Structure 1
Amino acid sequence: MHVDAMTVPQPLGQVGDLARRTQSAGFSGLLFTETGRTAYLNAAVASQAAPGLELSTGVAVAFPRSPFVTAAAAWELQEATGGNFRLGLGTQVRTHVVRRYGAAFERPGPRLRDYLLAVKACFSAFRSGKLDHHGEFYDLDFITPQWSAGPIDAPDPKVEIAAVNPWMLRMAGEVADGVHVHPIGEPGYIGRHVLPKVAEGAAIAGRPASDVAIIVPVMTIVGDTDEERDKQRDAVRASMAFYGSTPNYAFIWDEAGFEGTTARIREKQKAGDFAGMAAQVSDEHVAAFATESTWDALAGKLIDKYGATATRLVLYNAVGDPERFERYGEVARLVSARSASA
């Protein structure tokens, strides 16, 4: 089990230092979300600053970019990292895609499936010179040498998707190289939905479920004193309230025994009461959905909790305070070493 650090994209002048610190601290890789800044440019800078560090988008928004544009960016990053880049794609939600990006969003699950297959067809075209993808949403069949990146001395990038509901998880198992579990995807949800649905999809494709990486972001509350952990707990509570406000994720709370959580959070959100949103996430929610520990015990807790299910862990809140970042890196190194020897 590998352990990555998650970060929002940084100003480009700061990314190189972060990548070098991530590598020296002991993390396997660095995962870039996509917010107001682009994940791809950050990954490009990081690839030059820290050779050998595994880099991924976790996740980049798919639909506003054509599959060819996305494939070309991933191809160059795979070459720049010597084969250590993974392309993570997601749909985002309708409001962002339509009203912020000005792109189409209809039938996002099937659209993302077709998008992923189109990206892989572009990878094949870069090697062969022939582009031949004909799907429901994307129809690609023209490429010439000057518009092709050409072959690279590395395997095709892995293409992973963010998935929450059963249909998307099954689709990931069928056509993707990995699935990014949602940040509020606690172990019960992974066991009930992620693993069986990914396995169903893999069976449709005639391949083992182990071919599909399970990438799990983990919110942690770590400290050797109550005061340290209290501060971390409040930050995690706010993050969970943010994610928990999305209606599509309500079933995750409900199945874990916290019925109605999303509705209560949304009521506060509509009133502009952000403190009230966080207050809907109780200590019981936090205990079920986050991992709380002292520093010495954290590696063991993460292995016990996720060792049988996750291919990669992504530490959601490791980046920040430099001293804590170094300690998280030590934990990442321990988890990877113990997992490899198990």
Structure 2
Amino acid sequence: MHVDVMTTPQPLRRIGDLAQRTQAAHFSGMLFTETGRTAYLNAAVAAQAAPGLELSTGVAVAFPRSPFVTAAAAWELQEATGGNFRLGLGTQVRTHVVRRYGAEFERPGPRLRDYVQAVKACFAAFRTGTLDHHGDFYSLDFITPQWSPGPIDAPDPKVDIAAVNPWMLRMAGEVADGIHVHPLGEPGYITRHVLPNRAEGAEKSGRSASDVAVIVPVMTIVGDTDEERDRERELVRASMSFYGSTPNYAFIWDEAGFEGTTARIREKQKAGDYAGMAAQITDEHIAMFATESTWDELADALITKYGGVAERVVLYNALADPDRFERYGEVAQRITGASLSG
């Protein structure tokens, strides 16, 4: 089990130092989310600053970029990292895609399926010089040597997608190389939905389920004193209320025994009551959806919780307090070491 650190993209002048610190702290890699800044530029700087560090987008927004543009960026990053780049893609939500990016969003699941296949067709074209993809949303069939990056001395980048509902999980199992589980994806949800749907999709494409990595972001509450853990618990509570406000994720709460959580959060959200949103996340929610422990026990707690179901875990809040970053790195080193010895 590999352990990555999650980060939002930073100003480019800062990312090289952060990448070097991440590598020195013995994390497997860095996963770049995409918000106001692009994940790809951060990954490019990190690739130059910390050779050998595994880098991934987790996740980059797909639809505002053409599949060819995305494929070309991933290709260059795969070359720059010596084969240590994973392309993580997601749909985002309609409001962002249509009103912020000015792109189309109709039938996002099938559109993303076609997008992934188009990206992989571009990878093949970079090696062969022949581009031939004709799907329901994207049709690509023109490439010349002048407009191709050409072959690289590394395998094609892995293409992972963010998936929550059963259809998307099956689609990921069929056409992608990995699944980015939602931050609310506790082990029960993974067992009920992620693993069986991944297997069904993989079987459809004649692959093994193990060919499709499960990548899980984990929220942690760690400290050797009650004061430390109390402070982190409130940060996690706020993060969970943010993610839990999305209607499409309501079933995750409901199936875990917390019916109506999303509706209650949204009621507070519409009133602009952010403290009230967080208050809808009880300590019982947190006990199920986060991992709480002392520093000495955190590695074992994460192995017990996610070993056997996740190929990669991503520490969601390792960078929340820079003074604790190296301690999280020690935990990551213990987890990867245990995985290798096992």
Same fold, TM-score > 0.5, yes or no: yes
Deviations 1:284-319 (A, max 9, x none): 000000000000000000000000100000000001
Amino acid at match of 2:209: A
Q: Distance in 2 between matches of 1:144 and 1:193?
A: 43
- Structure 2 unaligned blocks of 5 or more: none
Q: Which residue of 2 aligns with 1:327?
A: 327
Residue 292 of structure 2 aligns to a residue whose secondary structure is strand
2:191 equivalent to 1:173: no
What's the offset of the Cα at 1:320? 3.4
Amino acid at match of 1:4: D
Q: Which residue of 2 aligns with 1:73?
A: 73
Amino acid at match of 2:108: P
2:4 equivalent to 1:4: yes
What TM-score, normalized by structure 2, do the two folds share? 1.00
Amino acid at match of 1:68: F
Q: Which residue of 1 aligns with 2:144?
A: 144
Amino acid at match of 1:97: V
Q: Distance in 2 between matches of 1:323 and 1:53?
A: 21
Residue 183 of structure 1 aligns to a residue whose secondary structure is coil
Q: Which residue of 1 aligns with 2:309?
A: 309
Q: Which residue of 1 aligns with 2:21?
A: 21
Runs (4 or more) in structure 1 with deviation over 2 Å come to: 320-323
Q: Which residue of 1 aligns with 2:243?
A: 243
What's the offset of the Cα at 1:322? 2.6
What is the correspondence of 1:1-342 to structure 2 with a 5 Å cutoff? 1-342=1-342
Amino acid at match of 1:334: R
Deviations 1:80-134 (A, max 9, x none): 0000000000000000000000000000000000000000000000000000000
Amino acid at match of 1:328: Y
Q: Distance in 2 between matches of 1:158 and 1:336?
A: 21
Deviations 1:39-91 (A, max 9, x none): 00000000000000000000000000000000000000000000000000000
Q: Distance in 2 between matches of 1:162 and 1:191?
A: 17
Q: Distance in 2 between matches of 1:206 and 1:124?
A: 20
Cα RMSD for the two superposed structures: 0.4
Q: Distance in 2 between matches of 1:137 and 1:320?
A: 40
Q: Percent of aligned positions with the same letter in both sequences?
A: 83
Q: Distance in 1 between matches of 2:42 and 2:137?
A: 29
Q: Distance in 1 between matches of 2:127 and 2:206?
A: 25
Residue 113 of structure 2 aligns to a residue whose secondary structure is helix
What's the offset of the Cα at 1:341? 1.2
Amino acid at match of 1:108: P
- Structure 1 unaligned blocks of 5 or more: none
Q: Distance in 2 between matches of 1:279 and 1:298?
A: 26
Amino acid at match of 2:308: A
Q: Distance in 1 between matches of 2:119 and 2:276?
A: 42
Amino acid at match of 1:120: K
Q: Distance in 2 between matches of 1:131 and 1:156?
A: 15
Amino acid at match of 1:169: L
Q: How many residues align?
A: 342
Amino acid at match of 1:205: S
What's the offset of the Cα at 1:321? 2.4
Residue 55 of structure 1 aligns to a residue whose secondary structure is strand
What TM-score, normalized by structure 1, do the two folds share? 1.00
Amino acid at match of 1:219: M
Q: Distance in 1 between matches of 2:71 and 2:230?
A: 43
Select between 332-341 and 318-327 the one with higher mean Cα deviation.
318-327
Deviations 1:155-197 (A, max 9, x none): 0000000000000000000010000000000000000000000
Residue 14 of structure 1 aligns to a residue whose secondary structure is helix
Q: Distance in 2 between matches of 1:270 and 1:341?
A: 50
